Structures are given as C-alpha cells and as structure tokens.
Amino acid sequence: MTSGIREDERHEDALEQSESIEDATTVTDETDLVEGGSESATDASESAEDDAADDDEIDAGAGDDVASLDDDADEEDRDEGDIAADYIEELLDIADVDGDLEIDVRGGRTYVSVTADGDSNLSKLSSNQVVDALQQLTRLAVQAETGEFSRLILDIGGSRESRKKELEDLVGRAIERIEGGASKAALPPMSSYERKIVHDIAAERGYHSESEGEGRDRHTVLQAQD
C-alpha cells in the first residue's frame, strides 16, 4: 500500500515538473517546446517508475526476512519428542523396519515408543542391547540440536516392559539370597532409569535399596528393612 502511494506521488511530481518546463520555454520554437517537455516528462516518469520498482524490491526483501524469521521460530519450537521422532524415523528407514511412533511426556521425561501391528520385522530392533544403543544415539541427536542433555526413554516393540519383567526377576533372586542369610545382595550395573525401576520394585516388596559405585559400575544393592 505504501509503495503504491509513493508511486502516485512521484507521477504527480513528474507532471508538475513537465508543466513547469513548458511554462519556462519560449513559444518561438513550438516544436522544441513540445519535444523538450515531452522528453522531460518521460524521463521523470521513468525515474518515478524505477524508484517504485526499487521500493517493491525492498518490500519483497522485507517479506522474505519475515518469512525467514517465521521459519526460524518454527525450528525453535521443535521439542525433544519431535527431534527424537524424526531421528528414529530415519533410523527405521535405513534399517527397512516398519513401525509407528508414539510420544508421551511424564514427570518431565519424554518417552518415545515404536510399535507395529500385525506382521512386522520390528523384533530385530527390540533386544535390550539394541534399544539401549539406539536410545543413546537418539539422546545425542536431541542434545546436538537443543544443546541440552536428554533423558528420553526409548521403547521398541515393548522392550521396556520386557526389561521390567527381567528386573523383577533379578530383584526376586536378590531377595531370595537375603532371605537365605545374606546381609546384602547386589544387582548388576545398569542405567539410572533401570535403577529407579529396581528401587520401586524393592520398595513394593518391603526391601531397602540404594545405588553404589561410579559411572558404568553404578549398581543397586538390596537389603532388609531395619
């Protein structure tokens, strides 16, 4: 709208300039009068049109800048779940595995589940070792984009539920050792997420648990309640 107004103003200025030139020119050479006034008006009009075109280019450039800012804002709005989902979908494509993704956020932690209905080859990625490795890769991908440490949990084909049953069996065997006379029973090293599950299982069964060790050697130790 602004560029249109400016263009009209420039055309008016061109006409006024043409009329001024005609008034100032002697009437003795009528041909020169017409040609001179006509050329001046044409030059002024072309100049006005060029300026208007420049304004249009500036306005178009401003529009592109606004669109670019909108795109940047959309990218900044990508949360941990969206980033993880995009990364996992690429991995599934590379592995030629079919699966549907579900994203959930509970207690400030993002959970990404990969499921499949009917016949699927998703099982070749659902072993605990593979899921743990893919989870670490996905966390790194999220961290690379957000700049923040990721605590997301990845489940493939019900792998986490299967792992929880394994942890319940481990806790059960540890309790058997304690009931057999041992003062404590240590479980193998595991992630903080799995140690949290062990703590919950032990508490439900009336036993005290705590984590010991550092780094990859950090594990859970069970003992009877005082």
- In the predicted model, is pLDDT for residue 33 greater than 70? no
Reference 157, options 120, 110, 122, 121; nearest CA is: 122
Domain spans, the chain: 2-76, 80-157, 161-224
101-117, pLDDT tens digit by residue? 999 999 889 999 999 98
149-206, pLDDT tens digit by residue? 999 999 999 999 999 999 999 999 999 999 999 999 999 999 999 999 999 999 999 9
Query: Mean pLDDT, to the nearest integer, of 18-35?
Result: 37
Which CATH number applies to 161-224: 3.30.1370.50, 3.40.140.10, 3.40.50.720, 3.90.1010.10? 3.30.1370.50
Query: Mean pLDDT, to the nearest integer, of 87-101?
Result: 93
Amino acid at 75: E
**What CATH number labels 80-157?**
3.30.300.20
Q: Mapping DSSP to helix (H, G, I), strand (E, B) and coil, where does residue 61 land?
A: helix
Angle at the Cα of 168 (from 153 to 226), degrees rounded to 5? 110
Angle at the Cα of 153 (from 76 to 93), degrees rounded to 5? 75
Biggest alpha carbon distance in the chain? 129
Which pTM does this prediction carry?
Answer: 0.60
β-pair type (109-115, 100-106): antiparallel
- In the predicted model, is pLDDT for residue 136 greater than 50? yes
Reference 187, options 162, 212, 219, 223; nearest CA is: 219
Query: Which residue is listed with tokens 């709208």?
Result: 1
Are 89 and 125 in contact by the 8 Å Cβ rule? The answer is: no
